[in-house]
């Protein structure tokens, strides 16, 4: 059992590392692509890579997928069609500090939804770990100054980010409820493809009225990363982790995203790392250790 949980932790952290790199890529693509174009090409690449790998499993599990078609359509719409699109839309009008703050609400929603809809037990130690990790994120956002949190100004994009945080929590809880008789590969096909189909009309309308996409080497490289890494691989790993650990415990691990994102920004973009980043990272890691101990 402990060995199984170890696999769950490794899978969760690997997914989080890939998503952390996505923050860097999103910054690089901010001026080159619209939110709908970024989301469409991301899932188009992921789906194209997934089909040869998961088609046989999808055909084998087709009866179970049809029997739970409304579940898969809802999961696809929430986790594929609108979640990342909302994040990219939020990034157009909101400051990064606001996005970081609001993104930390997602594990809280995971806790609540897992408790209400799945009946997952939430121990006092796990709640304490969540609070400590959240404090670490707040230290990072405020740079150690409480006044900075009080002076935050919120925009329309902040609402998009809040909705995105709720969507990711809903997706994580739904992924925990994957129907029996549906393998992980078939699950991804049954959510990626419908999610991409539901996204296509909005993308076509956006592309019809907006400027043509310029596929420079940088744009292509970034799209390949978010399509193959932050989408196909990360979603497979995250769903694996949620299936083993549960959505509430996996939600605590999600708090490590700012730590890995900061490290990626330092290594790839040359952004400075100071004492506040170290203190924040220690709080986040301490909270995770407290919540997952035992």
Cβ atoms within 10 Å of 228's Cβ, excluding its own: 18
What lies within 8 Å, CB to CB, of 136 at 6+ separation is 255, 258, 279, 280, 281, 282, 283, 284, 285, 286, 287
- pLDDT category, 27, cuts 50, 70, 90? low
Tell me how far apart the alpha carbons of residues 165 and 255 are, in angstroms, rounded to a whole number: 12
- pLDDT category, 111, cuts 50, 70, 90? confident
In the chain, what's the furthest Cα-to-Cα distance?
57
Quick one: pLDDT at residue 193? 96
259 pLDDT above the threshold of 90: no
Burial class of 154 by CB neighbour count within 10 A (0 to 12, 13 to 18, 19+): middle
Q: Which of 72, 113, 67, 106 is nearest to 87 (CA)?
A: 106
What lies within 8 Å, CB to CB, of 251 at 6+ separation is 106, 107, 108, 110, 111, 114, 130, 169, 172
Q: Which of 254, 252, 258, 250 is nearest to 279 (CA)?
A: 258
- Enter the pTM of the model: 0.80
Quick one: pLDDT at residue 102? 66
Quick one: pLDDT at residue 246? 80
- pLDDT category, 51, cuts 50, 70, 90? very high
Percent of the chain with pLDDT over 70: 73
Quick one: pLDDT at residue 88? 81
182 pLDDT above the threshold of 90: yes
Asked if 122 and 115 count as a contact pair (C-beta separation under 8 A), the reply is: yes
Quick one: pLDDT at residue 271? 59
250 pLDDT above the threshold of 60: yes
- pLDDT category, 228, cuts 50, 70, 90? very high
Tell me how far apart the alpha carbons of residues 281 and 258 are, in angstroms, rounded to a whole number: 8
138 or 84, higher pLDDT: 84
Mean pLDDT for 243-253 is 77
- pLDDT category, 64, cuts 50, 70, 90? very high
As given in the structure block, the two tokens for residue 95 are 């400051």
Q: Which of 160, 165, 33, 32 is nearest to 91 (CA)?
A: 160
Ramachandran category for residue 143: left, alpha or beta (phi over 0 → left; psi -120 to 50 → alpha): left
- pLDDT category, 227, cuts 50, 70, 90? very high
Quick one: pLDDT at residue 233? 94
22 pLDDT above the threshold of 80: no
Sequence-distant contacts of 87-92: CB under 8 A, at least 24 apart: 87/26, 87/160, 87/161, 87/164, 88/26, 88/35, 88/36, 88/38, 88/39, 89/35, 89/157, 89/160, 90/157, 90/158, 90/160, 90/161, 90/164, 91/26, 91/30, 91/35, 91/157, 92/30, 92/35, 92/157
36 pLDDT above the threshold of 70: yes
76 pLDDT above the threshold of 70: yes
229 pLDDT above the threshold of 70: yes
Quick one: pLDDT at residue 188? 95
Q: What angle do CA 66, 201, 53 make, to 5 degrees?
A: 45
Quick one: pLDDT at residue 84? 86
H/E segment holding residue 17: helix 2-29
């Amino acid at each position: 059992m402990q060995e199984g949980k170890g696999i769950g932790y490794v899978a969760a952290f690997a997914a989080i590392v890939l998503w952390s790199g996505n923050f860097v890529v999103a910054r690089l693509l901010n001026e080159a692509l619209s939110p709908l174009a970024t989301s469409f090409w991301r899932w188009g690449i992921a789906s194209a890579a997934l089909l040869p790998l998961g088609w046989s499993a999808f055909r084998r599990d087709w009866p179970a997928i049809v029997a739970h078609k409304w579940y898969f359509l809802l999961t696809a719409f929430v986790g594929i069609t609108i979640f990342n699109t909302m994040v990219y839309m939020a990034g157009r009008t909101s400051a990064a500090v606001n996005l970081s703050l609001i993104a930390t609400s997602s594990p809280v929603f995971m806790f609540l939804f897992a408790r209400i809809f799945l009946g997952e037990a939430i121990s006092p130690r796990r709640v304490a770990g969540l609070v400590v990790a959240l404090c670490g994120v707040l230290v990072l956002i405020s740079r150690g100054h409480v006044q900075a949190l009080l002076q935050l100004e919120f925009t329309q994009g902040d609402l998009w980010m809040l909705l995105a945080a709720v969507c990711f929590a809903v997706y994580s809880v739904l992924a925990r409820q994957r129907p029996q008789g549906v393998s992980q590969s078939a699950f991804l096909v049954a959510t990626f493809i419908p999610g991409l189909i539901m996204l296509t009309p909005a993308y076509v309308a956006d592309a019809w009225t907006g400027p043509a996409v310029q596929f420079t080497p940088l744009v292509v490289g970034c799209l390949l990363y978010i399509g193959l890494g932050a989408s196909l691989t990360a979603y497979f790993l995250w769903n694996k982790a949620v299936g083993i650990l549960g959505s509430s415990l996996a939600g605590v691990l999600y708090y490590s995203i700012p730590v890995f994102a900061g490290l990626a920004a330092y290594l790839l973009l040359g952004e400075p790392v100071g004492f506040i980043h170290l203190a924040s990272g220690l709080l986040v890691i301490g909270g995770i250790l407290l919540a997952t101990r035992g």
